[in-house]
Amino acid sequence: MGETTAALWMRGRGGVLGLVDECLGQPPGTERPVTMLVGPRGSGASETHGVIMGRFGVEHPFAYLNFASGQALLPRHALALIARQLERRLPQYRVLRFPRLTMGLLASDNELRMSSRSEGRRAVRQQLDRFRQEAEAEHGNYLAAFLEVAGGALGAPGGTPAVVAAILGDAARRGGRGLPGRLFSGVPQWFGDHPLVPSRDPWDALLELNMWRHNGTVQEKRLLDRVLFAAFLDDLRHAAERWFTAPSCLVLLDNCHTEQGHLFLDLLTGSRRDAALSGTPCDPMTVVCSSNRWPENWGPSSGDQWPWRLRDPDRVSLADWHRHRPAHDSDDSWWYPLRLRDLTLDEVRTSIELASPRHSGLAPFVHRLTNGLPAAVQQVTEILDRADVPRRSDSEFDLWLRALPGRRLRSARGLPLADVALERLLEGFSAAQRAALVRYSAAGDLAVGSRVLGATVPGSSDEPVFSEVRSRWLLDPERPEPCLHPWLRRLLLWRLAADPDAWTTTHDLLGDHFQAEGREADALYHRLAAHRIDEVVSRLVVRFREWSAADWLDTFNTVTAAPNRLPVDRPALALLGELAPEEPARLITDTLVIRGLVYARWLWSDPLGDPGMRLNNVIAGKYDRLSELRGSDIVALYDEAERYRHWRHPLTAADRW
């Protein structure tokens, strides 16, 4: 189901729409950014492209390219496909034409035959006219010929309204017709005047382009691409100066993390820089692109050497871009990088209401489980729509949810949710890197996990896992330390839990590491994960008697946020009963109450452990009892009891799990 503009706005992407609207409304010559949407796979960048098209595509010339289509999309192919789509006829505007780009492509596509330089000058126009006439006879338009070699990069992304998807396909198939011969008048001279072309004679300049393409060095081929980009942007500038022409056009570039996408954006930002340095007005193109990997031309993925800091898409504007952009003599001056954030609880609720209204009450569970990653929310909602899901009033419903990562997705040929989600998030990772990440997921801090656990498997420390994870935005942006995104870590822990020995070994190693460093809370976190409950309880009891209630609560909450590999075939209350002592206690002590509180909070911390949060009252009651046993300094404990008794879900995930 495609999303409406209103839905996108509520999902935290409205700032992007506002920025595009602002850019499209600027007069020709206004400088506009190359807006880059970044985030992990599943963060909703492609859907955002679709909704942008739905909002602006009917009334503005627009083009969309997918650089991850599987085709080797050369810069010339991409320019031709973009120009072809921008030629779409709109009732209120004159049709855009691209005579300079078309001439440059004509002059370089087919090898020109000549016996001498002078003959080439005389024959070049005749040969170019013949190439053009043959293409127009077969395709109706020279640019349309590129559909045969690169048309796979076209097509509407998810979220695109059907009417706009139809417009997109129609623009590619039935764009502008052939160019009248008079439109080529003066165009060859443009190439003779271009500073990157050595020849000043227009026909010699076109021959130079031809030789660069077919017999040139790598550097000369790159020069040709730069000339073609300059021709395309100059066509847009000249078109904007004519009466009844759209003052701006919209170009959407999806999945620019590919080699072809990087090259295209390098050429685009370089061409804008060259134009700015020469005093040429900016082209009237509003560009929105996306990447789920850190672009190499931004420098190291740590970002320390890059002048930009990722912006929040909720508060973007042209004014914000102008305030933060570097100087014009840098390619970085044209970027505007926006980090797509996860959805808040209210936005998750809205998304579920749009897709499956009967499950909107499960929004808190879905948000706790996925942290609001858009693709994960969609996948979990699909699972909840299965026919075999028990009714929410049924006691079996929570038990059914406990095994949710192992449930199968119809849209993925019946594969388990965890497998499908991990394959999407970790696309391109080697088998060794994936195995390493499964182990490292036991640690909250990825750097600690790789340092402590990397040496436990021969050769694993040589895998550049950390840099790869960071470059794909798979770290949690809300944490100062390098932590995996909560949804990714939860899936990796699910995988690790399938091997009991590996689970215990990794948590024991991490517990030993933190104990040696004197970090007691972190050490107990991993002792609890390894099911060493007696050790954890005894240390918490000692600290309860030594520390203030507030300090003890901080440590307690850290420790009991530990992951678990408890059975998924029994509900939370049954598991709580199994963890209790076999014999009933003759005397209620702080040790007994803290033990029960550890069990309950440990289960509650995991959304899959207590999906319905049925343990809230149990935890509140144990805090009441602990307050009675303490005698003094009890305000923090009573407040904690009230917090669980009258629980309100936060808008963002707060648990460490």
Look at residue 655 in the predicted model and tell me its pLDDT.
Answer: 42
Across 17-22, average pLDDT: 95
Whether pLDDT at 17 is above 60: yes
Whether pLDDT at 9 is above 50: no
Indicate the pTM of the whole model. 0.91
* 475 vs 116, residue with greater confidence: 475
Min mean pLDDT across 113-117, 333-337, 630-634, 646-650 is at 113-117
Which residue from 561, 591, 442 is spatially nearest to 504, judged by alpha carbons? 442
Per domain, the residue ranges of the chain are: 1-339, 345-423, 532-656
Look at residue 392 in the predicted model and tell me its pLDDT.
Answer: 78
Size of the chain, expressed as the number of residues it contains: 657
Whether pLDDT at 180 is above 90: no
Look at residue 179 in the predicted model and tell me its pLDDT.
Answer: 53
Whether pLDDT at 3 is above 50: no
- pLDDT band at residue 5 using 50, 70 and 90 as cut-offs: very low
Compute CA 264 distance to the chain's CA centroid, rounded to the nearest angstrom: 19
Gap between the Cα atoms of 491 and 510, Å rounded: 19
Residue 617 tokens read as 């009252």
Look at residue 1 in the predicted model and tell me its pLDDT.
Answer: 38
Look at residue 448 in the predicted model and tell me its pLDDT.
Answer: 94
- pLDDT band at residue 156 using 50, 70 and 90 as cut-offs: confident
Min mean pLDDT across 179-183, 217-221, 446-450, 557-561 is at 179-183
Cβ count near 577 (within 10 Å): 10
Residue 640 tokens read as 């904690």
Q: What is the 3-state secondary structure (H, E, C) of 460-519?
A: HHHCCHHHHHHHCCCECCCCCCCCECHHHHHHHHHHHHCCHHHHHHHHHHHHHHHHHCCC
Whether pLDDT at 236 is above 90: yes
Across 572-600, average pLDDT: 84
Whether pLDDT at 120 is above 70: no
Across 307-313, average pLDDT: 92
Look at residue 356 in the predicted model and tell me its pLDDT.
Answer: 86
Gap between the Cα atoms of 484 and 466, Å rounded: 10
Look at residue 653 in the predicted model and tell me its pLDDT.
Answer: 40
Min mean pLDDT across 323-337, 453-467, 538-552, 562-576 is at 453-467
Gap between the Cα atoms of 104 and 188, Å rounded: 9
Task: Sheet containing 62-66: give its strands across.
Answer: 62-66, 249-254, 285-291, 34-38, 335-339
Whether pLDDT at 71 is above 80: no
Whether pLDDT at 538 is above 90: yes
Half-sphere exposure of 3 (CA within 13 A, CB side): 30
Look at residue 11 in the predicted model and tell me its pLDDT.
Answer: 60
> What mean pLDDT value characterizes the chain?
87
* 384 vs 463, residue with greater confidence: 384
- pLDDT band at residue 315 using 50, 70 and 90 as cut-offs: confident
Cβ count near 406 (within 10 Å): 13
Residue 7 tokens read as 């839905």
What are the tens digits of pLDDT across the range 222-233?
Answer: 999 999 999 999
Look at residue 10 in the predicted model and tell me its pLDDT.
Answer: 47
Q: Let me know: does 254 contact 289? Beta carbons within 8 Å.
A: yes
What are the tens digits of pLDDT across the range 449-497?
Answer: 999 998 555 554 445 799 999 999 999 988 889 999 999 999 999 999 9
- pLDDT band at residue 443 using 50, 70 and 90 as cut-offs: very high
Gap between the Cα atoms of 627 and 622, Å rounded: 9
- pLDDT band at residue 93 using 50, 70 and 90 as cut-offs: confident
Whether pLDDT at 657 is above 50: no
Which residue from 340, 336, 342 is spatially nearest to 324, judged by alpha carbons? 336
Look at residue 583 in the predicted model and tell me its pLDDT.
Answer: 65
Across 400-421, average pLDDT: 92
CA dist list (Å): 236 to 66, 229, 283, 657: 22, 11, 6, 52
CA dist list (Å): 630 to 62, 209, 512: 68, 85, 31
**Quick one: CA dihedral 124, 127, 129, 131, positive or negative?**
negative
Gap between the Cα atoms of 98 and 179, Å rounded: 9
Look at residue 174 in the predicted model and tell me its pLDDT.
Answer: 58
Residue 495 tokens read as 């995988």
* 585 vs 313, residue with greater confidence: 313
216 secondary structure, DSSP code: -
Tell me the Cα Rg of the chain.
30
- pLDDT band at residue 656 using 50, 70 and 90 as cut-offs: very low
- pLDDT band at residue 588 using 50, 70 and 90 as cut-offs: confident
Look at residue 354 in the predicted model and tell me its pLDDT.
Answer: 85
234 secondary structure, DSSP code: H
Look at residue 138 in the predicted model and tell me its pLDDT.
Answer: 66
What are the tens digits of pLDDT across the range 259-291?
Answer: 999 999 999 999 999 999 999 999 999 999 999
